[in-house]
Structure 1
Amino acid sequence: MRFTLRQLEVFLATARLGNLSQAAEALSLSQSAASESLKTLEQQFDIQLFDRTGKKLRLNDLGAVLRPKAQALLDRAIDLELDLQHHQDAGGLNLGATMSIGNYNAIPLLARFVDLYPAISPTLEIANTRRISEKLINFELDVGLIEGEINHPELIIEPWQDDELILVCGARHRLAEAGIQESGQAAVQTLSDDELRDAEWILREQGSGTRQTFERAMSGLLPQLHVRMELQHIEAIKQSVAAGLGISCLSRLSVEDMLESGRLVELKAEARNFRRQFFLVWHKKKFLTAAMAAWIDLCRESA
C-alpha cells in the first residue's frame, strides 16, 4: 500500500479546516510533519488535491471526489482498531440536533442511549438546520436530527417524527386579553391576516427549521409582517414573548411549560398550516459504525 492512514488523516483534516496549520494542530502534529505527509501523498500518485491560495487550501475536483472514500476508509480503520482491542461497542459518536429537537426531544433519547451503551461516548452539538447540515456534509458530525427541510445529494434524509408549531403571546398581551370571554374563561384567539400583519413578531433566525416552517405557513404575508427581533435561542424568545415584547411561533413541545404556568397564551391563525416533519440525517458515503447504527436504530424505535 502506497499511502498511510496518517496521510489520510492529514488530508481529511486539511479538507475540513482549509488550513494546514490548523489541521496539524487538530492532529497534534508539527506543521512541518503535516505538510510533509500531505506533500508525500500527492507526490506518490502525481496528483494535486487542493487549490492553494496563500495559506488557504481549497479542495479541487479530484480532492472532492476522493474525500468521502478516504473518510469511509479511515472510519473503517478506527472501527477495526476498536474490534482488535476487544471493545467493539466502544468509541465516540458525534451527534447534531437542531434547537427544538436538541433541547426537548434528543436529551431523553440520549440518556436512554448512554444507559444501553455505556462504552460509547457521544457528543451532541445543538445548532440550526443550516449549520447541522453543513457539518454532516463536511463529515464533522456522524448523525443529525433536524427540523428543517433540506435536499442534498450527499445526505440520507429519513422522516423521523411529526411536530407542530403554534403561535403564542404573553399573558398580558392585548391579543391574549381579547381571547377572554365574558364568562372569564380563556378561549384560543384566532387571528385574521390583518391581525397577523399588525403584530410585532419575535422569530428564530434565518436558516433555522422553525423559521422555514413559519415562512411557509405565512406565505403571501411575509413582506408585510413586522419582525421586531430575531433570536437564536428558544428560551430567549419565550422570555421575550412572556414579557410582552411581541408574539412568536414555536414548537408546541418547547412552550408547554409556560402554557401550563399561564405565562404564555396560545393563538391560532386562519387557514395556516404549522405542521412539520423532523428528519434523521447522515452522510451516504460515511462508513456506518456500530455506534452510528445503534443510534439510528434507537431513533427509529422512538419515532
Structure 2
Amino acid sequence: MKLIDFVDMKYSLRQLEIFVAIARAENVSRAAQQLKLSQSAASSALVELERMFERPLFDRIGKSLHLNSTGRGLLDKAEALLIQAGDIETYLSGGGPGPLAIGATLTIGNYLATLIVVEYMRRYPDSPVRLQVANTAAIAERLLRFQCDFALLEGEFSHSELLLEPWLADELVIFCAPQHPLATATAVDNATLARQFWILREAGSGTRTRFEQGIRGQLHAVRAGLELEHTEAIKRAVESGLGIGCLSRLALREAFRRGSLQEIPTPQFDFSRQFYFACHASRRDSNASRLFRILCREMTENTAHTAQIQLPYIP
C-alpha cells in the first residue's frame, strides 16, 4: 500500500474548510463572513484549490455558485476529514469540543433539536450542552446578547448583526380534529376558512409570521380566537374540536399518523419555509458549534421533511 507523502500534499485543511463553507452558503461573501475572512481571501483560497488539481468544483452562473459533480463528491469527504482533524485536535488538547449553548425556536426545539443534542452528547460525552427553547423573537434577542453560541430558527429574522445559513426545508399545514366538518373535505375555499375559529401561535413566533405571510392577499379576516405559545397546547385544543390550527408538519407528523388530527387540503396557500442556523456576525465560530451544525446536517441530510428522523412519541 502506498503511503501518502504529507510533506508534498497540495491542499490544506483551511482550504477545505473554506470550500465547505462556500458549498453550504452557495455564496463566497456569506462564507467569508462565517469564517471571519475577507471575501477576496476566501475566493482566492477556492480558486487556488481548483487550480492545484485543475478541476473546477462549482458551476459559476453570474454571481451564483453551484456545486458541480466533482464538488458534490468532495463535500462529504472534506467534511469527514475536517471532523477527524477536529477530533485529533481535541484529543491532543485533552478535552472535548468544549461547552456549547444553543438556542432553538419552539418547533425545532421540541421536535428535533433534543434528538440531535442526545446524539451529540453520545459522541462527545465530556462536552456540556445547554439548549434554550423559546419563540423566534426571544431566541434572536439571546443571540444578539451573546447568550448562546448559535441558534436554530424556524423562519427568517432580519438583523444586520445576525448571519443566517439555510439548513432544512419545512412547511406549515392547516389541520383540524377528525370529527370537524372540514376533516372530510377534498378542498376548502377561502370563504369557508375565513368563517372558522382559529387557534394560532402567538405574535413573534416564526410559525405565526409565516402563517400570516402565507394567507396575505387571500384571507383578509381570520378569527384568531385563541393564541397559545406551545404547539402541544394548540394540538390539544384542536383535537377537542374547538377550532382549526396551522403548525409545522414536523410537529403534526405523529398526530397525523395516529389519526388524532386531520390535514385540511389548502393548495391555494404556499406555507413552505426554511429552517436556519443563525449566529452573531461578531462571534468566532467554535469547534463545538461547527461539530453540532455538521451533526444537524448529517441527521437530516437525505430528507425534505425529516422523514428519516425518529421523532419521540408524545401521548
Give the TM-score range, shorter chain. 0.5 to 0.7
Please state whether the residue corresponding to 1:157 is helix, strand or coil: strand
Deviations 1:172-216 (A, max 9, x none): 11212xx1xxxxxxxx53210101111110000111111111111
Distance 1:286 1:217 in 2: 33
Q: Cα distance, 1:92 vs. partner?
A: 1.6
Identity of aligned residues (%): 40
1:232 paired residue among 202, 221, 229? 229
8 Å contact kept, 1:94–1:123: yes
**1:267 match:** 264
Which structure is larger by alpha-carbon Rg, 1 or 2? Answer: 1
Superposed displacement of residue 236, structure 1: 0.2
Does the 8 Å contact 1:202/1:248 carry over to 2?
Answer: yes
Q: 2:202 aligns with which of 202, 205, 211?
A: 205
Matched, 1:117 2:114: no
How high is the TM-score relative to the length of structure 1? 0.66
1:215/1:222 contact within 8 Å kept: no
What is the aligned partner in structure 2 of residue 165 from structure 1?
172
Cα distance between partner residues in 1 of 2:110 and 2:122:
19
For 1:74-117, what per-residue CA distance to the aligned partner results, in whole angstroms no more than 9, with x for missing partners? xxxxxxxxx8x944425321111111111111122111111111
Q: Is 1:278–2:275 an aligned residue pair?
A: yes
The residue aligned with 2:147 is: 140
Whether 2:295 is the aligned partner of 1:298: answer yes
Tell me, in whole angstroms, the C-alpha distance in 2 between the residues paired with 1:236 and 1:118: 33
Q: Normalising by structure 2, what TM-score?
A: 0.64
| Partner Cα separation in structure 2 for residue 298 and residue 260 of structure 1 | 27
Q: Quote the residue 1:127 is aligned against.
A: 134
Residue 248, structure 1, aligned to residue 227, structure 2: no
Deviation of 1:297 after TM superposition, in Å, equals 2.2
Q: Contact 1:89 / 1:290 at 8 angstroms: preserved in 2?
A: no
Deviation at 1:148, TM superposition (A): 1.6
Tell me the distance in 2 between the aligned counterparts of 1:240 and 1:189: 23
* Contact kept? 2:143, 2:149, Cα under 8 Å: yes
3-state SS, counterpart of residue 194 of structure 2: helix
Deviations 1:135-166 (A, max 9, x none): 00110011100102112121120000001111
Partners of 1:100 and 1:280 in 2: how far apart? 14
Q: Report how many residues are paired.
A: 211
Q: Contact between 2:154 and 2:274, CA under 8 Å: does it hold in 1?
A: yes
Question: In structure 2, how many angstroms separate the alpha carbons of the residues matched to 1:258 and 1:296?
Answer: 28
Tell me if structure 2 keeps the 8 A contact 1:191–1:268.
yes
Query: Is residue 108 from structure 1 mapped to residue 99 from structure 2 by the alignment?
Result: no
Return the alpha-carbon distance in structure 1 between the equivalents of residues 182 and 204 of structure 2.
Answer: 28
Unaligned runs of 5+ in 1: 1-82, 180-187
Measured after TM superposition, the shift of residue 127 of structure 1 is 0.6
